[in-house]
Amino acid sequence: MDGAYKDNDISRVVAADRAHVWHHLTQHKPFETGEPRVIVEGKGMRVWDQAGREFLDAVSGGVWTVNVGYGRESIADAVRDQLVKLNYFAGSAGSIPGALFSEKLISKMPGMSR
């Protein structure tokens, strides 16, 4: 794995990022003369940017949201299977994943039932 973007036109992606993406907690002034960092690949705790530079992701995607790491095929497979079966249904009715997750979550929250 080299982190290199496989499309032929990464400059288009970088230009779109510079023009349209708001990077929270980031100074945007440097983007007027330089490129924003665009992360193109992740595996385990490492990520690669558009230039192929490797970084250790010590904050799980920026705001501690990817604490399971990147490239976890077992998680991707479970998500794919659920998306094919039922990708979303509003809270007006139950769903199997919603019921099972709520049961697991409530078991960790004494005194709560819902």
Render pLDDT for 65-84 as a digit per residue (tens, 0 to 9). Answer: 767 888 899 999 999 999 99
Of 35, 91, 67, residue with least CA distance to 102: 91
For residues 36-42, average pLDDT: 91
Tell me: do 15 and 53 sit in the same domain.
yes
Number of domains in the chain: 2
55 and 23 inside one domain = yes
Whether residue 56 is found in the same domain as residue 41: yes
CATH of the domain at 20: 3.90.1150.10
Residues 15 and 40 in one domain: yes
Regarding whether 98 and 42 lie in a shared domain, the answer is no
Task: For residues 111 and 98, state if they share a domain.
Answer: yes
Q: How much is the pLDDT for 62?
A: 62
DSSP assigned state of 29: G
Chain mean pLDDT for the chain? 85
Listed in order, strand segments (DSSP E) in the chain are: 39-43, 46-49, 54-56
The pLDDT value given to residue 97: 85
Whether 63 shows a pLDDT value over 70: the answer reads no
What pLDDT does 20 receive? Answer: 93
Measuring CA to CA, which residue among 68, 58, 15, 60 is closest to residue 38? 15
- Residue 102 gets which letter from DSSP? H
Can you give the pTM of this predicted structure?
0.64
